[in-house]
Amino acid sequence: MKREVLAVIPARSGSKTVKDKNIRLIDGKPMLAYSIAHAKKSRFITRIIVSTDSEQYAAVAKEYGAEVPFMRPAEYATDTALDFDVFFHALKFLEEKEGYVPELVVQLRPTYPTRDPRDIDHMIEQMLADETIDSMRCIAPAKEIPYKMWLQDENHLSTEKNKGKQIVPILKEILECYNMPRQELPKAYYQNACIDVIRTKVITIQKSMSGKHIYGYEMAENFDIDTEEEFKRAEEYLKITNGNKRFVFDIDGVIASFREGLDYAAASPNEEMISVINKLYDMGNKIILFTSRGYVTGIDWKVVTEEQMKRWGLKYHELHFGKPNADYYIDDKMLDMNFLFQYFRR
């Protein structure tokens, strides 16, 4: 008998930072549709519902294959409403109206259009195999070190001349951890809220969204959209992963190291960049290489260059010579290299 796993996608209306972000089109589809698609691809999720206070959102959810068995009460659709209130309401409604009680509940926030359904299944599978786990949540390595963070004494009176306030460390279990090298401190993680898996009884009986035995599932950093900038970056990511985009890369200085005296045969590969380009290639994007090798000296570097690209394992579609030599190149469609490294390297 298949075990019941319910996916709940909470999608209230009224976002202030990005208006109607939950149904705003991102790469041609409402953002809400992506989370519904992720749930549909799961091997374990048996039912998908959307909890919303908006008839418009409900119509979008149904169009893309989710159920909307109720409209969320207004008191649970405010900026300050807790996840617990939303989920307790949903589970109690389903139990009282349908006698439906799933074993697990999966929270898929609609502001994550890029999650990997395999992560959902790995978390559910572990929960189904180990009943001592109350909940699992996604975590990612913290960029900032909590052991070097402080709280200010807000009761301390400061003057115009002396604006400093007494501070106390947030974490105290390691003596003077704020003076230690970061390499000697424990690795810290933050919860990225991409996927949460909770036992139904933890919510309905323990009245908690996590319980006491909480496991972390480490995953790559993901997009949580809360600003226009984050929306644009997520859309760019989706367009790239869908393929059919045209990328043009310079060879020297990007794929290969610069060599003094224009001795290109002695150039070494940028392996990290090659890994990124190969990933873009495998996604179905078109990769075009160009270079100014030989433009100044008149030397034909075609054979050497083709041999280097083959030896370095670079995947590409076209190789062009004759780019004018210059100190700087400016392109109105230039993509931030940090963006490529952050989201497309292995």
Digit-coded pLDDT (tens) for 153-169: 777 666 666 667 888 89
Closest CA to 198 of 294, 331, 103: 103
Residue range 257-266: mean pLDDT, rounded: 77
Distance, first Cα to last Cα, the chain:
38
| Sequence-ordered list of residues with C-beta below 8 angstroms from that of 194, at least 6 positions apart, any chain | 109, 112, 115, 119, 138, 219, 222, 224
pLDDT at 313 over 60: yes
| Rounded Cα gap, residues 193 and 108, in angstroms | 8
| Rounded Cα gap, residues 30 and 57, in angstroms | 10
- Across 15-24, 62-71, 232-241, which has the greatest mean pLDDT? 62-71
Query: What domains, with CATH codes, occur in the chain?
Result: 5-142+188-225 (3.90.550.10), 143-187 (no CATH), 243-344 (3.40.50.1000)
Q: Are 138 and 194 in contact (CB under 8 A)?
A: yes
Q: Are 32 and 20 in contact (CB under 8 A)?
A: no
pLDDT band at 299 (very low <50, low <70, confident <90, very high): confident
Residue range 21-38: mean pLDDT, rounded: 94
Q: 3-class SS at 114?
A: coil
What pLDDT sits at residue 330?
52
What pLDDT sits at residue 160?
62
What pLDDT sits at residue 79?
83
Q: 3-class SS at 177?
A: helix
pLDDT tens digits, one per residue of 40-91: 999 999 999 999 999 999 999 999 999 999 999 999 988 888 999 999 999 9
